[in-house]
Amino acid sequence: MEKQKYILIKTLCVQYKVEISFIKELDNIGLIEIEQIEEDEFIHEERIDDLEKMIRLYHELNVNIEGIDIVFNLLQKEIQLKAEIKELQNRLDFYESR
């Protein structure tokens, strides 16, 4: 079984110059998942890319938490639609090649 890799939230806050409350708000609306391990709070390393995007939206574009939620929901929808288009193209190719 693969070992889970987590990054301490306090370290991320110092690195990215954000408040812990910002990250907790992202957790509250379900955009990231905070893992409690003993006394400390962590984020899985696979979610760091998404967190960086959220921080950039927040700092550079002044997008609020609700706006970040909307952006990420739209991005997820785009990914789903692209997968559906790919599947439909494959089915069409199959029937056209007969």
Q: How is residue 3 annotated by DSSP?
A: P
Strands 34-37 and 40-44: antiparallel
Position 28 scores a pLDDT of 95
Residue-wise pLDDT tens digits, 14-66: 999 999 999 999 999 999 999 998 899 999 999 999 999 999 999 999 999 99
Position 2 scores a pLDDT of 47
Q: What strands lie across the sheet with 34-37, from one edge to the other? A: 6-8, 40-44, 34-37
Residue ranges per structural domain of the chain:
6-96
* CATH architecture under which domain 6-96 falls: Orthogonal Bundle (1.10)
Model pTM score:
0.81
Position 97 scores a pLDDT of 83
Q: How is residue 46 annotated by DSSP?
A: G
